[in-house]
Each structure stands twice: as structure tokens, then as C-alpha cells.
Structure 1
Amino acid sequence: MLKNNENNMSKKHPSAFEPATIALNIIVSVLGAIIGLELITRLGISTNTSIVGALLAILIARIPLKIFRNFKDINRQNLIQTSISGATFSAANGLLLPIGIPYLMGRPDLVMPMLIGAILAVITDATILYFSFDTEAFPAKAAWPPGIAAAEAILAAAQKGKKAMMLLYGIAGGIVGKYLGIPTDVFGVTWIGNAFALLAFGVGLIVRGYVPKYFGIDLDAIYLPHGVMIGAGLVALIQIIKIVTSKSDDSDTPAGFTRSLKEMKRGLGRGYIAYLAIALILALIGGIASEMSMGMLILWIVFAALAAIASELIVGIAAMHSGWFPAFATALIFLVIGMLIGFPPLALALLVGFTACTGPAFADMAYDLKAGWILRGEGKDSEFEKQGRKQQYFAELLGFIVSFIVVAIAYRFYFAQDLFAPVNRVYVATIEAGASMAVAKNLLIWAIPGAIIQFLGGPDRQLGVLFATGLLINFPVAGITVIIGLIIRYLVVKRYKEEGQSALYVLGAGFIAGSAIYSFFSSTLKLGKK
């Protein structure tokens, strides 16, 4: 990995509230929000604009005007990258997706209540991550692959040398490979992330892609992926709880971290209380309180808050190791459980919308904080790192606020043209189909192997969660790519040891960046043809 120079040590981090930075962040956040809305409604994807934001910041810094001179600072560039990334994911995954569900169920009057609940949930989601990042549960030293790619792109423009050229070669390879149909982002991740977790992910992708094709088994019909994730997710949550509560005296920050488990524990506790309050607000302003008994209403509020916090932790674990997060599928799982409990249809609509919007902000902000951590010197100056992380949090919140305004204004135009996130129709169809005891039986059966795999892998490898993530994604070519990438990694490291792993690390970041650049521009160009 390219190292930032030592001039960061003990200096003050640029503020997210500098007038020029605020103005530029608002502009890029509007751009990011529009891109997010366009892509998720017209193409069904939500691309990572973090790399694009980094490149935009780099280009702005090269404009020969005095007003842009300060943006040569890589930490200011990091703030711009953070804002546009936060705006893109919050607008698409966090806001427009949830409000489309009640609208498709014939209740447009619930759009604004859902939108209010969603923005509060997104802010809570990011805040919990802020207090959890760089703890023993979610360490900054973990992979968080898209964050590495964004940081390396910024550093490549600021520095010269062998590794910078290697990154550029990787970017070129990522673009060419993506053009040829190879998922080069996945290829790059295999050289960065946890090898065991990625192997489980790749096997899951292959099983999901080829078992139905060659054995005629519909995995969704027997709820195999969902059950495996439930079992693995429950064990993963127990493992996280065990990590958080493992020390009797956790008030001190452990060596190598900038946050203690006590701070994370406090953040999770306050986050759960916030989710309870948001669920109550949703129930009251959404009008679903009148549809349920008092006991059922209390159960819905408690379950919704638990689903939200469990979803974000599971999504965060997957994102940390693989760069992929199964937010849509995780929300579907909690929807099915809610159906089995017996919540009425509109309560289910608000539940799945509430759950779907938690997780993406957690993962996306972690990627941004990982990028900042690298740019600030990888935690060598803990005070500077904490300053920078706080400014990134403010930049992310600005992106959320801008996206909220954009979505509140624009959603009518999208819905009037029958433009929704495709997964919205899956959620609505699931609610309308209902659940049965047969579904519950299948979930229970497949939860057992999921739990066993997660338990055997342990909290460091997360085999169960990553295997389940692969099962929930129908992309078998990516699974083959994972296996090939891991084989290359094994052979290179075996021959060249640490030098080989270091080279693969930088090349992998380049492949991820190149793939993101190609996906962004090719997807954006396609919009005009829709």
C-alpha cells in the first residue's frame, strides 16, 4: 500500500465547514444523489461513486485558480469523496428504495412518513458506524476494499513512483477486464480481503449459480439462501456481542485501535434506542398503530429496531471482508420473519423499508473512513485520525441532507413514470404472497448448516455470513473469478512472500478502481438510451 508522508503528523485536519468545502460538497452531493436515483430506478444498480468523487476532487485541485488551490490537500479531497459517496447510497438505497414500497402497495400517503423514518434511520446507521469503526469488532486495518481503492487513487495523483504506476496498471486492467465482461472488482478484492472469507463467498456464488442450472433445484423456493443467512447471521451477532462484552475493563482503548469496545457498546445502545424511537414515529405517523393490538404494536417496534441493528451489523461484516453487502437480501429475510410473526401488510411494508435503509450507510461510511484512515497515515497520529474521522462524519451527514432534499423533490417524477428500484416489486410480491409454516420449516432447516459454518469459521473469518452472501447473489461468474483470483494470490505469495502480497494489494486496489470507473461511465451513458 502507498504510504502517506509524515507531514500529517500533529497538524490540524481541514474542516468540513470551510465555506469552499461546503459549497463544493453540496454540488457533488446533488450530483451523487441524482446519479444514485437514475441508476437504481433505470438500471437497478447503485454504483460506488466514491472513486468518481476522488477523481473529481483531483481534477478540481488541478484548476489553476486560487479558490481551488486548497483542494490539493488530500484530506480535503477525502471530504469531497465522502460527501458524494454518502449522497449516492443514501438517495438510492437509503431513501428512494424504502418509499417505493408503500407507494406500490397503493398507499402514497405513507411515502412521506417512510421518507422521514428512512432519513432518521440512515443518520443513525452512519452514527453507529462512526462509534464502531476501528474497534476490535470493525477494525480500520480490515480490508474494506472500496475504501482502499479510493485512497490509492487519491495518493496516486499526489505521489509518483513504482507503486503509483502499478496502481495505474491495475486501473487499466480493471477497465479493460470490465469491458470484456470480467468482474474485475471481484478480482481485485480477492487480492485484498480475507482469503478464507472470500473463498466461502466464491463457493456460495458458484452454488447459487450452478446448482439450479445443473441439478434443477430452485434454492429460493426452499428458502435455502435465506435460512443459511439467518443461521449464520445469528451466530455472527452472538460473536460480535461476545467481542464487545469480552473484557471486564474495556474503558481503555486497546493498542492499535482508536476506539474502545466501551465506546462501541455505548454507540450500539444509543443506536438501538434511536431505532426504537424511529420505529415508534413510523408506527404513529404511518397509521399502522391502529391496525394492531397494543401487544402486537410493541412487538413490531421492538422487532423493527432489532432487525435494523442486526441488518447493519451483518451487512457491515460482509462489506468489511468482501466489499459486497447483501442489504436487499437481508431486508427480505427480516420481512419473511415478520410475515411469520403475523404483522399486517402495511406494517410489513414499513418494516422492510426501515430494514432496507439500514446497512448501506453503515458499509458506505466505513469504506469512506477506511480511505481517510489510509490518507491520514494509518492511525500513526491518533489525534489527527480522530479529527479527520469527525470531519468525514460531518461531510457524510451533509451528503445525507442533500440527498433527502433531492429525493423529497424528485420522487414524484420517478414514480409517475413507474420508475422504482426493482427490488421494491420483489418485496411487495412477497408481502402479497404471504408466508406459511412450510416456509418457517425450510428457514429452520437451512439455518442449522449456516450456523455451524459460521461457528466453525469464527469471528475473524466470517465463513457463514460470506457463504450466505454468495448464495443470495445470482452471479456465478463472480464465483469463478474469486477462485481464480485466490489461486493467483496463493501462487504469488508462495513465491514472492511479502513483496508479492504488497504488489497484489496495490494492483487489487487498481482493479477495483478501474471497474468502478468503467461501471460508472458506462452506466451513466446508458441512461440516455432508456
Structure 2
Amino acid sequence: MHPTPPSAPQGAAEPGQRHPRAFEPLTLVITIAMSVLGAMIGIVLITSLGVSPNTSVIGALVAMMIGRIPLGILLRMRSPHRQNLVQSAISGATFAAANSLLTPIAVPFALGRTDLVWPMLAGAAVGLAVDSWVLYRVFDTKLLAATNAWPAGIASAETIKAGDTGGRKAGVLGLSALVGFVGALFKLPTAAAGVGFLGNVWALLMFGIGLLTAQYAPGIFGVNLTEHYIPHGLMVGAGLVALVQAGLLMRRRKGGTAAAQPEAEVIASGPDATPDQRTRGAAQLRRGLIEGMVLFLGGAVLVAVIGGIAGGMSLPALVGWVVLAAVAALVHQIIVGLAAMHSGWFPAFAVTLIVLIVGLVLHIPTVPLALLVGYTASTGPAFADIGYDFKAGWLLRKDATPWLPYEMDGRRQQYLAQLVGFAVALVIVAVAWRGFFSEGRIPPVSEVYVATILAGLDPGIMGTILMWAIPGALIQAIGGSSRQMGVLLATGLLVATPAAGWMVLGALAVRWSYTYWRRRGARTAEERKASDEQSEADLSLVGAGLIAGSSVNDIGQISRTL
């Protein structure tokens, strides 16, 4: 079941209306200012607390407040679609600065190779650019459909819609956000409860089981799963099967009719296209991933050359390193994107650590391995974040007439706004990294990568990973590509946030109970379907509020670091 918001905002497009442009002077000025704020929030929190919050809701709220200022040109910011552009840019700047740029360049710095910081920053910028391009090309294909959860995207869209329409929606969202904020103040992972109200039930069930297992396994069985790399093994197996499933989705089905192929895609086209149809098909998915692979290969060559490792490696070793770096970057973004799409969490650290372990098994020298890890780490988080923002825009544009041209134009404008955020993040990181690192403010995950590189590999680790890859692969295969059960189980085990498992499973129980309660008066299949859709709409609003409130609290933690 997928959540379907009950109504469009009053700012829905009129027939023939053009989507607001990302480079309109007012929108661009606000976008740049908010991107500076988002980038600073990102690098302060990633270096002090090891987290990078989603700032989308903050961007939307600021844009709303600007739109309420009674000055001629500022009234244009009342448009939900302009607010969507601003929130896309600030969240993009936050994740780009913290995860895609600062974390990678901290790896060679922590290794003592300050001379490699600038080459790594150039490579990370390429990884970030390719990351965003691939998501733009493959969003709303069968692999990464707009109808899937993308929880943070729903939270942003519902916040904007509530601010635009007011009334009951604003009240429910505001109350839920207050609960989420207060719960987060008391260290409760209320965002996890919000996620439980959204998305695929099977995927979230496996995510919750993983979270609970990680929390209680040490006490019950006396085994720390992470120390034995059991979750990593499950992710390897599930990830490999997920890649095979993604490959199968890229196939172009030839011959036969739609009736003979019930799984055949219905791609939106023409003036009668609706949001129930996907905007991109298997051909676009295949093309986007192939383009990504080629571009990642080019980025890997750039890192090898300017990082100085090309001259110190034999030609076969250099070719192998370049291919491994490109494959790792592509795999990393897909796994992180799938996990984020269903659960709202992305195991970027864990998947990068798996790449690091593979590098140790292959006996890659220290410096090339550090650059490999940094290049891989530059992909994934921005990929997931753009998916969240595109989901928010898709929800806000659902009632446009005609829908398809407005949706595609709006998505393109969001991508351009994201690029502005990325450019601002790159400038901020280039200026600020030396000051932060000289004070010892290095992202904790980067220090873990370096410590692992220097410590080397326990001979038994790879055997454990391969052994646990088997059940991970089986669970992923059983669940299929639409549920991502293996990837989400491994994600829960790797995230291991205390009490989050109870939050997710509790929300699922409430979701089932509320849906069953609403069905009590339905007698026909049509009535039950309508009841279920309304239940999903109500619970989506609650879930969005919980996530929004938790995000505001996360951003508020910046005061602890000052």
C-alpha cells in the first residue's frame, strides 16, 4: 500500500501554467542563502555529532514565512512550488557538504596525507555530480518509483501543503510534529515511528525486526553482531541480489501484448497521462545506469591521476582499481537509494565499510585504498536526498493540468535548484575544511575508515561475511524487488538505533488497527478500497508530522556544538 494524500494544495497549477523557475532572481537569492545555512549545519553536525540532519522542512518553513511578508515581490514565495525549490536546495546542500564532500576528504587528512585533500575533493565533487545526475535520470522508473515511500519527501510535501491550505490538515500535521519534536527531545526515535506509517509494510517489518535484533542480541545471545560483521554479510548477499533484480527491471520486453505481459509497464505519455503512471521505463533506467557507470569510470580515472596513484601502480592494477572504484560507487548509490526509499534511513557508512573490506582482501595499498573509500563515500546520500525532494515535488504537482509536462518541468527545476545547493556546498567545504580539521573536528566515520585501513583485516572476517551473505541473498530473493526485505533487514541491523525497532513495529500495529477499524462499515470491495486509501492518507499525515518534528529537533542540536 502506498500513501495517497487526500488533496492538492491551493497552489496547484492551473491549466497551461508554467512551473516556477529555479533561476528566478528572488528564488535564486533565497536558494543561495538557505544553501549556505544548510551547508554550515551539515558540516557542523557531521564533525561534532556524526549526523547530518534533513533540513528540507526548515527550508520549507523559512520559504513560507518569507511568503507571508506583505511586500509585493515576496508574496511570490507563497507558491508551494517555489517553496519546494528552496527546500530541495537546502537539503541538497546539507547532505552534499556533510556526507558527499567533507567526509571523503577527511579520510586522507586523518591518514596524514594532507596533500591528497584537494585531489580527493575534486573526485568527491565528480562523485556528487554523477550521483545527482543518475538519480535525475532514473527517478520514477520501476526501480525507484515515485509511488514508493521516500518518507522524508512526504514530510516535506505535507508541511508545505499544510502551510498552504491550513485547516484540519495543518492541525493534524502540527500536533504530530509537536509529538515528534517532544519525543526526540527525550531521545526517542520518533522519526522511526513516522516511517512506520509510510511505505511498504513488508519492507518496514523487516527493518523493524533488524532494529530489534541489533538492540537485544548482545544481551540475549551475548553476541555483538556488528563486531562479527554479520549485518555486513547480510547486506552483501542482499545487495548482490538487489543488483540482479535491478538488472532484470532494465530488460526491454519485446513481443506480445500488454494483456499477455501483465507485468509490462504503462509509461505516461500524452495529455491524458496521470500520476498513476510512471514517467520513465526500463529503457530510461538502463540508459541512466549505463551513463552513471561510464561517468563514474571517468571520475575514478581523474582521482587516480590527480591523486598520484596512477604512476605507482602497474597498468593491470590501475585498470582494476578504476573499475572497482566505479562499480563500488554505482553499487553504493543503488543500495543506499533503495534503503532510503523504503525506510528513510540509508546505511552509507556500512556499505562503504564493505567496500573497504573488499579492498583489504584484494591487498590494495593504503593510499589507493583511502582514495577508493573516499570516492565511494561521495555517492549515495545525495542520491537518496534528491529522491526525497523529487517525491515531495511529485506530491505537490499531482493535480496539475496537464500533469505530465508540468511534472517533468518541475522535476527539472528541482534538479537545477539542487545543483545550486551542491555548488554552494562545494564552496563552503573548500573554504571551511582546513579550519575544522585543524581543530580536530573530523567526521567520526572518516576516522573509523582510517582506523580500519591501518589495522588491516582479520583473516576470519571475509569468511563470516560470505557465510551470512547466503541468508541475506535468500531473504532478498524471496521478498522481490518491490519489498527489498533483505536490504531493509540488513539496514535495520546496521543502523541499530535503540528503541527504533519498537517505534517502527508499534507504528505498523497502529496502522493495521486503524485500517481495520475504518473498514468496519465497508461492505463491498470498492468501499474497502476507498476506506483503505483514506486510512493511508490520514496516517501519512501523522507520519509526516512525526518526521518533521524529529528533523527540527535534529537541526536544533547545532546549539550543542557552539
**1:214 and 2:220 are equivalent in the alignment:** yes
- Larger deviation, residues 298-307 vs 257-266: 257-266
Name the TM-score, length of structure 1 as normaliser: 0.97
| Residue 359 of structure 1: aligned partner | 380
**2:163 aligned to which of 157, 161, 185:** 157
The 1:246–1:477 alpha-carbon spacing in structure 2 relative to 1, beyond 3 Å, is farther
The 1:252–1:197 alpha-carbon spacing in structure 2 relative to 1, beyond 3 Å, is closer
**1:448 and 2:470 are equivalent in the alignment:** yes
Give the residue type in structure 1 aligned to 2:538. Answer: A
The 1:487–1:251 alpha-carbon spacing in structure 2 relative to 1, beyond 3 Å, is closer
- Larger deviation, residues 51-60 vs 429-438: 429-438
- Larger deviation, residues 350-359 vs 490-499: 490-499
**2-side partners of 1:229 and 1:292: how far apart?**
31
Give the residue type in structure 1 aligned to 2:144. Answer: F
**2-side partners of 1:370 and 1:296: how far apart?**
41
CA contact (8 A) 2:22 2:416 kept: yes
| Residue 71 of structure 1: aligned partner | 77
**1:505 and 2:540 are equivalent in the alignment:** yes
CA contact (8 A) 2:152 2:344 kept: yes
The 1:321–1:8 alpha-carbon spacing in structure 2 relative to 1, beyond 3 Å, is farther
Q: Compute the displacement of 1:239 (Å).
A: 0.5
| Residue 25 of structure 1: aligned partner | 31
- SS for the counterpart of 1:459 is coil
Give the residue type in structure 2 aligned to 1:108. Answer: T
**1-side partners of 2:481 and 2:265: how far apart?**
22
**2-side partners of 1:183 and 1:517: how far apart?**
13
**1:285 and 2:306 are equivalent in the alignment:** yes
| Residue 264 of structure 1: aligned partner | 285
| Residue 458 of structure 1: aligned partner | 480
| Residue 42 of structure 1: aligned partner | 48
- SS for the counterpart of 1:461 is coil
The 1:392–1:165 alpha-carbon spacing in structure 2 relative to 1, beyond 3 Å, is same
Q: Compute the displacement of 1:124 (Å).
A: 0.6
- SS for the counterpart of 1:172 is helix
Q: Compute the displacement of 1:164 (Å).
A: 2.6
CA contact (8 A) 1:227 1:445 kept: yes
Q: Percent identity?
A: 46
- SS for the counterpart of 2:141 is coil
CA contact (8 A) 1:8 1:377 kept: no
Any residues of structure 2 matched to 1:175-186 within 5 Å, and which?
A: 175-186=181-192
| Residue 127 of structure 1: aligned partner | 133
- SS for the counterpart of 1:460 is coil
Unaligned runs of 5+ in 1: none
**2-side partners of 1:379 and 1:184: how far apart?**
33
CA contact (8 A) 1:3 1:374 kept: no
| Residue 454 of structure 2: aligned partner | 432
**2-side partners of 1:66 and 1:219: how far apart?**
59
| Residue 240 of structure 1: aligned partner | 246
Q: Compute the displacement of 1:416 (Å).
A: 0.5
More helix by share: 1
CA contact (8 A) 2:208 2:492 kept: yes
| Residue 560 of structure 2: aligned partner | 526
The 1:158–1:383 alpha-carbon spacing in structure 2 relative to 1, beyond 3 Å, is same
Q: Compute the displacement of 1:2 (Å).
A: 4.3
| Residue 390 of structure 2: aligned partner | 369
| Residue 62 of structure 1: aligned partner | 68
**1-side partners of 2:353 and 2:235: how far apart?**
11
**1:468 aligned to which of 490, 497, 504:** 490
| Residue 484 of structure 1: aligned partner | 506
Name the TM-score, length of structure 2 as normaliser: 0.91
Q: Compute the displacement of 1:66 (Å).
A: 1.9
| Residue 523 of structure 2: aligned partner | none
Give the residue type in structure 1 aligned to 2:388. Answer: Y
Q: Compute the displacement of 1:252 (Å).
A: 7.8
Give the residue type in structure 2 aligned to 1:326. Answer: P
**2-side partners of 1:2 and 1:50: how far apart?**
22
**1:514 aligned to which of 544, 549, 553:** 549
What do residues 449-502 of structure 1 show as CA deviations (whole Å, max 9, x unaligned)?
Answer: 100110111111111000000111231310111111111111111111423332
Give the residue type in structure 2 aligned to 1:230. Answer: V
CA contact (8 A) 2:41 2:555 kept: no
Unaligned runs of 5+ in 2: 256-263, 269-275, 520-531
Q: Compute the displacement of 1:22 (Å).
A: 1.3
Q: Compute the displacement of 1:302 (Å).
A: 0.4
Counting matched residue pairs gives: 527
What do residues 374-428 of structure 1 show as CA deviations (whole Å, max 9, x unaligned)?
Answer: 1112677011000000000000001001100110000000010011110111100
Give the residue type in structure 2 aligned to 1:118. Answer: A
**1:96 and 2:102 are equivalent in the alignment:** yes
The 1:477–1:379 alpha-carbon spacing in structure 2 relative to 1, beyond 3 Å, is farther
Q: Compute the displacement of 1:218 (Å).
A: 2.5
Give the residue type in structure 2 aligned to 1:341. Answer: L
**1-side partners of 2:142 and 2:16: how far apart?**
25
Q: Compute the displacement of 1:8 (Å).
A: 4.1
Q: Compute the displacement of 1:208 (Å).
A: 1.2
Q: Compute the displacement of 1:300 (Å).
A: 0.7
Q: Compute the displacement of 1:179 (Å).
A: 2.0
Segments ≥4 residues shifted beyond 4 Å: 249-252
